[in-house]
Amino acid sequence: MAMAAPTGSAAPVAPALCGHLALLLLLAAPAAHGYSFPQQHTMQYWARRLEQEIDGVMRIFGGVQQLRGIYNENRNLFEVKENVPRKLVEKVAGDIESLLAKKVRALKRLANAAEKFQKAHHWQDNIREEDIEYYDSKADTEYDDPDGEEIEREKSNSLKLEFTDDANFKTKVNYSYAAVQIPTDIYKGSTVILNELNWTQALEDVFIENRKEDPSLLWQVFGSATGVTRYYPATPWRAPNKIDLYDVRRRPWYIQGASSPKDMVIIVDVSGSVSGLTLKLMKTSVYEMLDTLSDDDYVNVASFNEKAKPVSCFKHLVQANIRNKKVFKEDVQGMVAKGTTDYKAGFEYAFDQLQNSNITRANCNKMIMMFTDGGEDRVQDVFEKYNWPNKTVRVFTFSVGQHNYDVTPLQWMACANKGYYFEIPSIGAIRINTQEYLDVLGRPMVLAGNRAKQVQWTNVYQDALGLGLVVTGTLPVFNLTEDSSDRKNQLILGVMGIDVALNDIKRLTPRYNLGANGYVFAIDLNGYVLLHPNLQPQIINFREPVTLDFLDAELEDENKEEIRRSMIDGNDGQRFIKTLIKSLDEQYIDEVFRTYTWAPIKSTNYSLGLVLPPYSTYYIQANLSDQILQVKLPNIKMKDFEYLLPNSFESEGHVFIAPREYCKDLDLSDNNTEFLENFIALMEKVTPDSKQCDNFLLHNLILDTGITQQLVERVWKDQDLNTYSLLAVFAATDGGITRVFPNKAADDWEEEPEPFNASFYRRSLDNKGYIFKPPYRDAGYRGLDLENNTIGILVSTAVELSIGGKTLKPAVVGVKLDLEAWAEKFKVLASNRTDRDQLGARRCDPSTSCEMDCEANNKDLICVLIDDGGFLVLSNQEDHWYQVGKFFSEVDANLMSALYNNSFYTRKESYDFQSVCAPEAQSNTGAAPRGVFVPTVADLLNLAWWTSAAAWSLFQQFLYGLTYSSWFQTEEVAGDSMEARETSCIMKQTQYYFSTVNATYNAIIDCGNCSRLFHAQRLANTNLLFVVADKPLCSQCESVKLLQAEVRAPPRDPNQCELVDRPRYRKGPHICFDYNATEDTSDCGRGASFTPSLGVLLSLQLLLLYSSASRHPLPPAACL
């Protein structure tokens, strides 16, 4: 417990009277060796000395005043331009609208052509594979089997194409052809597939024409309802080294385009008859069914026997986002079969869920998906009560597993409620039968005709062919044929899609004129970011969209919630707010002012926002046209350009230039020396006014090169850095220049060459005064040999200009302190010794009382400087020096807790939903073997078992088990990789920052006989806290260590069960197609898809039995 005696206006802790008395007595009483704890006024005096020393060094070496003068002297070389937020937002929103509109025109042309081609196509029953000419994108793809040996490819009649590298697609392509991808589990020689290939071939000409009209077009794709994908331009399929189960119908963009939003309740029969293989089939079916849902959909999952209950903590329909679906998938694995079946309980629960109008939901297609092994009850009374006569809820029934039950009741339920009946006898039937319900949902869309031809833009997701992050415009393609009775066909043919890379949209947004802390962002109707500087997923699963909410991309507060709501509603607006932001290195929190301006992007689902700090209202635009000469001419080189040449570094300091796209032909490089060489080589070939160069970037770079060089001449060259124990001085500018002096200091310079990506630069702009930045050390850092390794501490401050009443901050300057030398200086400044005193001249004995200080009494007194994030900057303890840069709780947990408890620091917790983690160890518990299912003796003696589809199921079990780890394991579904790969995860972050209290405190950490005194005071005009404390006398005063390091969030943290009860505001698509009076519901069910011969079954089963019994069983799915 820490009791405080504050001096100042605010007192966060109200200590008891006895606490005050105890503190006063302890402060006044001399210790046994004749020293007493320093008085408050003494420590305030030390603090002033520290402030003066820091200010003096920065005034001499920082050169802020001199740099202001240099800018003013060069006013003829630049203009001060204004960022007008509303105009910027309007322009960028219009540019993005125009970009997407061009893609929409191509998309509509493709969709119309596809409907025309299919209508004109004549079905051929006797079509053969050799009759079709196409490029099979997987024909040249090599797959490895689990043992690492190449699997022999099946014979193919695919066209043989040549490919050339293409920068736009980041891969080899062929613009003369389209490519075809057919899922592995679909037989490419079937009549349906061959007819599909036949009529879609005509799309190639439309693809090519589209590209001629718009050369910037990326992938043009037709995803067919049969599973065939035809995409342009042709490129070999990028498949993993495993069985490729990519199916376009399960891609986020296809699902979004193929149907309107859904409210779905999944009910699973877990009665006693559902056990073993059947229960596993059901769990996997639910898992796959969840993957057909997008963020526009809502879902709940329940199990039932005599009673129904939700499988998870969700008591109502919840958004089918990634995190909620993950909860369902985990909890479905815990279902246990017992009891008897009561369909009535399951359906009543489902209808009650769908009738709950007090929650957020899709309010479009409503459906119930029931998985069961069979039963006799038709529960007609339930349907009469809840669903008839309007039949607003579709019922889909799934008969799962091998059994001899009468399936007529299940078929009747589906047919009587505008749904469909499916059979899932084996794992191989799961994928196809859990996605074909989309064809039924597509019927009202097809019958609605052109009204349903609505272009939709998707969430951000990872392109399967390597483009990176993209959004896709989608348009459904309808079957326009009619039957002999002139009835319209009601089947959806597929979905047409055109990709737009996020990078292409980013290029339309301003960047460098907004300054280091200004940025553009965009969100969709779900509040997910399309553009944002913090949208940086570390690992991407191409099967899932990248969904980062705006309120998770930034630190959430009420103002941002209101801004987000307004943007989703399609409004425009502007608001000036005070908010919290994380530093770029995520170690610090700053309280800042920002102006948010937003407007909708017309004809899309997106809204655009602009964030500007006050100091970025104005910016510098260099105009050097009159001064620029062709640098390639001998002896006539532009003077400022010469200071970029390495031969000037020794005298003028080392120059780092930001790796920006100054010119089109400039080769970028992460190695700054190499990038500088590339830049210089290009400048010798072109003039800075060349049309292939960005004049704004290039002129500002050259201007800042000259300005920082003048700083060297006027300030740095005339000073002896060693006198003040400085390792380096530096300046960084908005123009992209970072100059470090002297040249040798560049060897240890670890900051980003791009100032806009440097934490010290961005924090200096947002904070007044001098910002200290120690080198970050994690908790496990054990230090270096200080004699051979010099540690530096950055101190930086922004240069604020006022030109014609316009305020801006175009640069940051600073110094790099020598840690060891400044630690000694710190001890002297925080001591009672004056300049005339000699160390050791003062003597105290038991008869006289002297105040301790940080120099003479460093064995008894701890003196430290801690920054605003709680990191150690300086200490009078030599054994602390290697811990500089660590969170102070790692150095002195007891003292850091006292500072936090006395409100010197505030804590902010948040979550990073884009992190990557090592996979967690899988449990090996459970009786099931880690291999293929082995039939029991009773099964082997049962002839019916051999002649049933069970053997065929086992073959598919082997095939699909390479992907579905849950099939072979008793635990949860694992990843797709053969090795243990890193996986996406949620990380919990904790940052500390200064509270608003700015008083001086004396306090006691009350631990009985082990109590400690401490004093804490903020240093003016810095981000430092000066702390003086007794050394702990014993270990009884230990306290809980505050954690600052990022940690993996525990399971269910953040608590999804609580979050769904206060869902964030969102909007779904503005149109819904879930009903059409002319819909024909007579096609409502079919049986199993697989009917292999008995000979094939026997051969497969013997193979599986042999593999199961061998010493080397088939590889477990955990390996894939």
pLDDT in tens, 419-447: 999 999 998 899 989 999 999 999 999 99
- Residues 6 or more apart from 835 whose CB is under 8 A from it? none
Q: What is the DSSP string of 594-625?
A: EEEEEEE-TTSS-EEEEEE-GGGSEEEEE--T
Interatomic CA distance for residues 34 and 43, integer angstroms: 19
Q: For 770-779, what is the mean pLDDT?
A: 90
pLDDT score at 465: 84
Residue type, 703: L
- Residues 6 or more apart from 1106 whose CB is under 8 A from it? none
Hunting for tokens 């811990």 — which residue is that?
883
Asked if 1023 and 870 count as a contact pair (C-beta separation under 8 A), the reply is: no
Q: To the nearest whole percent, how much of the chain has pLDDT over 70?
A: 81
Please choose, from the candidates 85, 75, 32, 1103, the residue with its C-alpha nearest in 3D space to the C-alpha of residue 594. 85
Interatomic CA distance for residues 2 and 11, integer angstroms: 13
Helices (H), 375-525: 380-386, 408-415, 430-433, 437-441, 443-448, 502-506
Please choose, from the candidates 314, 315, 300, 305, the residue with its C-alpha nearest in 3D space to the C-alpha of residue 336. 305
Asked if 45 and 1036 count as a contact pair (C-beta separation under 8 A), the reply is: no
User: Looking at 285-289, 911-915, 975-979, which range is the least confident one?
Assistant: 975-979
Residue 642 scores a pLDDT above 90? no
Exposed, middle or buried: residue 488 (CB in 10 Å: 0-12, 13-18, 19+)? middle
Nearest-Å Rg of the Cα atoms of the chain is 35
* H/E run at residue 582: strand 573-582
- Residues 6 or more apart from 22 whose CB is under 8 A from it? 3, 1004, 1006
- Which residue spans within 259-358 are E strands per DSSP? 262-269, 298-304, 308-310, 318-319
Q: What is the dihedral of CA 530, 532, 533, 538, to 10 degrees?
A: -40
pLDDT score at 369: 98
Exposure b/e, 298-322, CB count within 10 A at least 16 = b: bbbbbbbbeebebbbebebbbbbbe
Interatomic CA distance for residues 370 and 393, integer angstroms: 13
**φ and ψ of 945, to 5 deg:** -65, -40
pLDDT score at 309: 96
Residue 989 scores a pLDDT above 60? yes
Interatomic CA distance for residues 713 and 655, integer angstroms: 15
- Residues 6 or more apart from 1095 whose CB is under 8 A from it? none
Assign 856 a pLDDT band (cuts: 50, 70, 90): confident
Tokens of 494: 């597929």
Please choose, from the candidates 1089, 1087, 1091, the residue with its C-alpha nearest in 3D space to the C-alpha of residue 397. 1087
Per-residue model confidence as pLDDT tens digits over 184-216: 888 989 999 999 999 999 999 999 999 999 999
Please choose, from the candidates 935, 967, 973, 981, the residue with its C-alpha nearest in 3D space to the C-alpha of residue 1115. 967
Helices (H), 618-720: 639-642, 649-652, 672-683, 695-711
- Residues 6 or more apart from 12 whose CB is under 8 A from it? 4, 6, 902, 903, 995, 997
For residue 367, count other CB atoms closer than 10 A to its CB. Answer: 23
Q: What angle do CA 621, 624, 630 make, to 5 degrees?
A: 140
| Average of per-residue pLDDT values in the chain | 84
Q: What is the value of pTM for the model shown?
A: 0.87
Please choose, from the candidates 366, 355, 362, the residue with its C-alpha nearest in 3D space to the C-alpha of residue 395. 366
Residue, of 976 and 742, whose pLDDT is higher: 742
The DSSP code for 1062 is S
Residue 1005 scores a pLDDT above 80? no
pLDDT score at 504: 95
Please choose, from the candidates 394, 390, 385, the residue with its C-alpha nearest in 3D space to the C-alpha of residue 415. 394
pLDDT score at 21: 39
Residue 405 scores a pLDDT above 80? yes
Please choose, from the candidates 340, 341, 337, 319, the residue with its C-alpha nearest in 3D space to the C-alpha of residue 328. 319
| Beta-carbon-side half-sphere exposure of residue 211 (alpha carbons within 13 Å) | 19
Assign 956 a pLDDT band (cuts: 50, 70, 90): very low
Sheet holding 1012-1018, edge to edge: 2-7, 1000-1005, 1012-1018, 1024-1030, 861-867, 872-875
- Residues 6 or more apart from 180 whose CB is under 8 A from it? 134, 135, 136, 137, 197, 228, 229, 230
Tokens of 706: 């000259």
**φ and ψ of 198, to 5 deg:** -65, -50
pLDDT score at 857: 85
For residue 670, count other CB atoms closer than 10 A to its CB. Answer: 8
Distance of alpha carbon 735 from its chain centroid, rounded? 29
Per-residue model confidence as pLDDT tens digits over 690-723: 888 999 999 999 999 999 999 999 999 988 999 9
Per-residue model confidence as pLDDT tens digits over 308-330: 999 999 999 999 998 999 999 99
Interatomic CA distance for residues 1028 and 180, integer angstroms: 72
Tokens of 316: 């109502």
Asked if 998 and 1018 count as a contact pair (C-beta separation under 8 A), the reply is: yes
Interatomic CA distance for residues 556 and 822, integer angstroms: 39
